[in-house]
Structure 1
Amino acid sequence: MRIVVAHGGDLSTPSGGTNRVSAFAAGLRDEGHDVTVVVPDPEGELPKRLGDVRISTVQASTGSVTSQPRRAYKIARRAKREAAEQDAVLQFEHSTLAGVGSLIGCSDYILDMHDLAFPSPLYAEQPFGTVLQRAVRWIEGRGVRDAGRIVTVSSQMATLASEEWGIPEERFEVIPNGYFQDTVKNVDPDYSNGTRVAFLGTLHPKLDVMSFVDIARLPEVDEVAVIGDGAKRNRLKVAKRDHELDSLSLYGRLPGMDAYDIIAGSTLAINPQHESPLQRASSPVKLYYYAALGVPMVISEGPDVADELNDVGAATVVPHSESFHESVREVVTSESTIEEMSASARTAAQGWTWTERSKDLAALYDERTGHRSFN
């Protein structure tokens, strides 16, 4: 089958979202499909996994809210043309891009819905944020309604979208995020002399900054390693200075495998978050890597994968009404607990590779074989 995947972000910048797109594109290619990816001109080198995937680039700036409408229009228009010329199935990444595709006449496509866009602080914090959110919700709703099938990262995300726009749940397919097995195999753990608690990922508004501070104050913890960048990094810098937290290490983004080496050599990995509908509906990529690396976890309740990890004994899940740092203290002071959680995490992660997730997506395309639409 010929498949055209449209994505509005820079695939040369690693993140949970871009890794999902490149993993699916490469995975569909490995399953025997002819795949074209339509994306903005990348600023850096594309992942090697896309070497056998046809790339169609569009001149469009990335990285700002103001550039989104024009970029989405150019990407959607190119993707529609590519799909028509190839007689291909169209797959949109993100519901807002699909909404723009809907406006120019696309329909019956597969929508890979990473999250809900309109509730995001990205829009609420802009001038005339309420008006902007309404506009984004309208565009997003079009994108979801005109899709033939909708792939979401969690069952809670499917329920949210179904209730928001009145779409039957049978049109949704849940394919969570995953991890790259080759990345895990190439890790060289960077062990600490003391007790290191680590976090890896985007420092987005969902993060609970005070939990990082409270953990760094624990006498049982020698280092809190925070790897990543984002909106909350400045808050963490201020907290480190104001509370004189020498144990709080803010690494920012790290090149290559350095981040995973630090995580793999840590005593414990964390994900403290504020509660919200989007937080509960998320599928945090970091948790799949924590598990694959065999690192015990203390994580906030909410996402589906948190419940899965808790059920198998790989993570301590902290209700939002309880103390996150006290749960960290309990785990790091029990060597037997750490060993048991580590073994459980590795076992749980065995079926969570991007290879397996891509097979699930390929199975969805198999449903279309011999049919004109998904409806």
Structure 2
Amino acid sequence: MTDICIAHGGDIGEPNGGTDRVTALAAGLSDRGYDVTLVVPTPSNQLDERFSDLRIESIDLPTHGVSTQPRRAYQISKRAIEVADKENAKLQFEHSTLAGVGTFRGVSDFVLDIHDLAFRSPLYGELPMGSIIQRFIEFVEGRAIHRANNIVVVSKLMKEIIVEQWKVPVDDIIVVPNGYFEHRIAPYRSVETVPSRVAFLGTLHPKLDIEAMYDIARLPEVDEFVVIGDGNRREDLESASKQIDSLSVTGRLPDEKAFQLVSSAAVAVNPQFPSELQATSSPVKLYYYAGLGVPSVVTEGPELATDLEAAGAAKVVSPNEDFDIAVRELLNSKDRRESMKQSARRAAETFQWSRRAAQFAEVYEPVVDM
């Protein structure tokens, strides 16, 4: 008998920040004795042992592209509601847009886990009639937020924005940031550093400042800037790599290759366009950079970036600073990088997904009768 039914519209067979959160929380709930069903699109790859105790309800759906999102949200929410009703299970939605679509079927009293606020995303604002689409998404997200029984968000700033935007009582929202899987990176901490290598790991989305990445690749101290990941900016980066010898765009890589490359880098980076959306995030790549002990240079905004700088593990770049200059200064200071390396590993001890899952499980203590 299912206790908790979790609806997620992403491909859990394709590891990234969003799916890592979903699978870590689902596995954490299962480890605590809950019978968990995941309703998801059919995974593109074979699932690992973390899923062995989870029931997977899959639907054959495309998982890439904005145009596929409405159909995906409808089908996933519909199936999840059916499973929850049949099993008398507590319903959990990943993402406010998916939950908002679910509310049109009359559902309420669910757990809502919000990874990001979609209505301000440039992904929609840059579409034809983008402002109208964003207003509709804001309406959909608001329906989800007002009908949820429990709301979980990834950052304090996201909580503040939701309280202000939708007039939600502050005590109705709890913060559970993202994290990293210790077992995925532990084998790569002893990889030898390549002093002239810079790395980026993550989704190549519109928030990414690729001009800053080009500037980094052109630094005389950089022999290789390896960009690991996929997304709608990949084509631009690949085109630039034909003109910039040091720029290497790999696409998605298996964990063993991706983490080995990042761990070998002298500096890892996350150049972003500063925005409220970016500031509310909890970037998973930064948790992995810290866990691997790689000094990082990151755009200011997210709470995690501030915390890492305070811990001596990262350099935060403000809008009036040159991102590439900050990278260059770090590449030219081996002693500083070594100090940041040790600080990053110490800070990362509290970031593991096992700890985040324990926090999240507290949401269910008063709402699921075991």
1:134 aligns with 2:135: yes
Q: Give the alignment's TM-score, normalised by structure 2.
A: 0.95
Partner of residue 23, structure 2:
22
Report if aligned partners of 2:189, 2:292 keep a CA contact under 8 Å in 1. Answer: no
Partner of residue 280, structure 1:
279
Report if aligned partners of 2:39, 2:58 keep a CA contact under 8 Å in 1. Answer: yes
The letter of the residue matching 1:178 is G
Per the TM alignment, residue 128 of structure 1 is displaced from its structure 2 partner at its CA by 2.6
Aligned-partner Cα distance in 1 for 2:369–2:35? 16
Per the TM alignment, residue 99 of structure 1 is displaced from its structure 2 partner at its CA by 0.6
The letter of the residue matching 1:367 is P
Partner of residue 291, structure 1:
290
Partner of residue 11, structure 2:
10
Write out per-residue CA displacement over residues 76-116 of structure 1, whole angstroms, 9 at most, x where no aligned residue. 12211211222211110000111111111111111000001
Write out per-residue CA displacement over residues 32-89 of structure 1, whole angstroms, 9 at most, x where no aligned residue. 1111111122232234311110111223333233332232222112211211222211
Partner of residue 90, structure 2:
89
Identity across matched positions, percent = 49
Per the TM alignment, residue 350 of structure 1 is displaced from its structure 2 partner at its CA by 0.4
Report if aligned partners of 2:116, 2:281 keep a CA contact under 8 Å in 1. Answer: yes
Gaps of 5+ in 1: none
1:330-349 matched pairs, under 5 angstroms:
330-349=329-348
The letter of the residue matching 1:159 is E
Per the TM alignment, residue 216 of structure 1 is displaced from its structure 2 partner at its CA by 1.7
1:294-313 matched pairs, under 5 angstroms:
294-313=293-312
SS at the partner of 1:14? coil
Aligned-partner Cα distance in 1 for 2:193–2:315? 22
The letter of the residue matching 1:4 is C
Per the TM alignment, residue 311 of structure 1 is displaced from its structure 2 partner at its CA by 0.7
Per the TM alignment, residue 330 of structure 1 is displaced from its structure 2 partner at its CA by 1.4
The letter of the residue matching 1:310 is E
Aligned-partner Cα distance in 2 for 1:327–1:70? 44
Gaps of 5+ in 2: none
Deviates more, 1:4-13 or 1:344-353: 4-13
1:1-375 matched pairs, under 5 angstroms:
2-187=3-188, 191=192, 193-241=194-242, 244-369=243-368
Write out per-residue CA displacement over residues 274-317 of structure 1, whole angstroms, 9 at most, x where no aligned residue. 11111101111000000000001111100010011011100011
Q: Give the alignment's TM-score, normalised by structure 1.
A: 0.94
Report if aligned partners of 2:77, 2:101 keep a CA contact under 8 Å in 1. Answer: yes
Aligned-partner Cα distance in 1 for 2:343–2:94? 33
CA gap 1:228/1:59 in 2 versus in 1, 3 angstroms: closer
Report if aligned partners of 2:204, 2:232 keep a CA contact under 8 Å in 1. Answer: yes
Deviates more, 1:157-166 or 1:121-130: 121-130
The letter of the residue matching 1:328 is V
Report if aligned partners of 1:10, 1:43 keep a CA contact under 8 Å in 2. Answer: yes
Aligned-partner Cα distance in 2 for 1:23–1:70? 26
Aligned-partner Cα distance in 2 for 1:189–1:234? 33
Report if aligned partners of 2:297, 2:326 keep a CA contact under 8 Å in 1. Answer: yes
Deviates more, 1:38-47 or 1:147-156: 38-47
SS at the partner of 2:365? helix
Aligned-partner Cα distance in 1 for 2:360–2:228? 30
CA gap 1:188/1:213 in 2 versus in 1, 3 angstroms: same
Deviates more, 1:258-267 or 1:49-58: 49-58
Deviates more, 1:205-214 or 1:28-37: 205-214
Report if aligned partners of 1:189, 1:262 keep a CA contact under 8 Å in 2. Answer: no
Report if aligned partners of 1:292, 1:350 keep a CA contact under 8 Å in 2. Answer: yes
Deviates more, 1:41-50 or 1:105-114: 41-50
Deviates more, 1:349-358 or 1:133-142: 133-142
Report if aligned partners of 1:22, 1:47 keep a CA contact under 8 Å in 2. Answer: no
Per the TM alignment, residue 31 of structure 1 is displaced from its structure 2 partner at its CA by 1.4
Deviates more, 1:23-32 or 1:72-81: 72-81
Report if aligned partners of 1:91, 1:110 keep a CA contact under 8 Å in 2. Answer: yes
CA gap 1:273/1:115 in 2 versus in 1, 3 angstroms: same
SS at the partner of 1:62? coil
Per the TM alignment, residue 204 of structure 1 is displaced from its structure 2 partner at its CA by 1.0
SS at the partner of 1:42? coil
The letter of the residue matching 2:256 is M
Report if aligned partners of 2:189, 2:293 keep a CA contact under 8 Å in 1. Answer: no
Per the TM alignment, residue 193 of structure 1 is displaced from its structure 2 partner at its CA by 4.9
CA gap 1:253/1:308 in 2 versus in 1, 3 angstroms: same
Report if aligned partners of 2:194, 2:266 keep a CA contact under 8 Å in 1. Answer: no
Aligned-partner Cα distance in 2 for 1:210–1:72? 34
| Length, aligned pairs only | 369
Aligned-partner Cα distance in 2 for 1:273–1:14? 21
The letter of the residue matching 1:142 is R
SS at the partner of 1:316? strand
